[in-house]
Amino acid sequence: MTQPQLRVVAGGAAAARLAAARPFIRLDGVAKTYKTADGPVESVKPVTFDIREGEFLAIVGPSGCGKSTLLKMVAGLLPATAGEISIDGRRVAGPHEGVGIVFQSPVLLAWRTVFDNVMLQIEMRKLARAEYAQRAMDLIEMTGLAGFEKKYPWQLSGGMQQRASICRALVHDPRILLMDEPFGALDAMTREKMNLELQRIWHTTGKTVLFITHSIPEAVFLADRVLVMSERPGSIAAIYDVNIPRPRSLRMMGDAAFVDLTQTIRGHFYAQGTLDH
């Protein structure tokens, strides 16, 4: 048995690595229609796109455009009504091994310490506790929670709770990290700090990230590519490459390239008249 290690990828090499990367997560004509009492409601129109290995893809869109539905389908939590999702060539038919999810709320268990909350992932997946304990501690340290592993969730701030839930999503060393508006419930300053942290974590671990957000600057700051979704029923309005060098700093949010791209993306929502929040 090999000890699971944090994969380290040099920051500068990220772009080159991406260019060579092959499609890893593939969505082919994926659509979702919910059955309701008032008849079927189309949530996501057929969408087709790829996420490359090690890529950070952000999806932005107005509320109720089916972003979260899309993420749940990739996680295998919801079946697609049409089309097919495959990860590394294997069709997604239900919850699978190689994925960790971070939700908008930290969903930590109040009766477990930070460490035990992180280890929940290991227990549920029936993996060997002893093997992953050290990795859990490494992650807790990497996310700046060292010294808090024995604390209970209610003793932590919102930002720290979300860090703990990121540790939980990464502890079994998944290849994919799915994040559903993970910082949406945090205050603006904590949110910026968490964006910096997440960039660092992504650099250190080299995971493939699918990141859902409301915030256009957040998407541009973090992502290699930004996928813009239209209003319900969701469909792809556009996909933008973010050609801003890494590592990115908050200062770069004032740069012309950054401002131009956020303005372009914002244009989609103004045109649709949906940017009301």
Partner 1 sequence: MSLLRKILLNPAMRPIWLIVVLLVLWDLAIRLFKIPPYLIPAPQKVVEALQNEWPRLVKESTVTTWATLGGFGLSILFGIPMALLIAYSRTVESFVYPLLVFSQSVPKIAIAPLFVVWFGFGIIPKVIAAFLLGFFPIVVSTVMGFKSVEPEMIDLARSMKASRLQTFMRISLPHAMPAIFSGLKVSVTLAVVGAVVGEFVGSNSGIGYVLQIANGNFDLPLMFAALVVLSMIGVVLFVAIDLLERVMIPWHASQRGDVHATP
Binding site for partner 1 (CB under 8 A): 72, 75-77, 95-97, 99-101, 103-105, 107, 109-111, 120-121, 123-125, 152, 154
- DSSP string of 211-268? EEES-HHHHHHH-SEEEEEPSSSB-EEEEEE----SS--GGGGGSHHHHHHHHHHHHH
To partner 1, the closest distance from the beta carbon of 113 in angstroms equals 9
Nearest residue (CB) to partner 1, 95 versus 267: 95
Nearest residue (CB) to partner 1, 34 versus 152: 152
Nearest residue (CB) to partner 1, 96 versus 266: 96
Nearest CA to 72 out of 94, 98, 87, 39 is that of 94
Terminal CA-CA length for the chain: 50
DSSP class of residue 60? Answer: E
To partner 1, the closest distance from the beta carbon of 124 in angstroms equals 4
Q: Using omega within 30 degrees of 0 as the cis cutoff, is the peptide bond preceding 79 cis?
A: no
Nearest residue (CB) to partner 1, 22 versus 150: 150
To partner 1, the closest distance from the beta carbon of 61 in angstroms equals 20
Strand segments (E) across 19-143: 23-36, 39-52, 56-60, 82-87, 90-91, 99-102
Nearest residue (CB) to partner 1, 115 versus 240: 115
To partner 1, the closest distance from the beta carbon of 20 in angstroms equals 30
To partner 1, the closest distance from the beta carbon of 178 in angstroms equals 8
Do 23 and 52 touch, CB atoms closer than 8 A?
A: yes
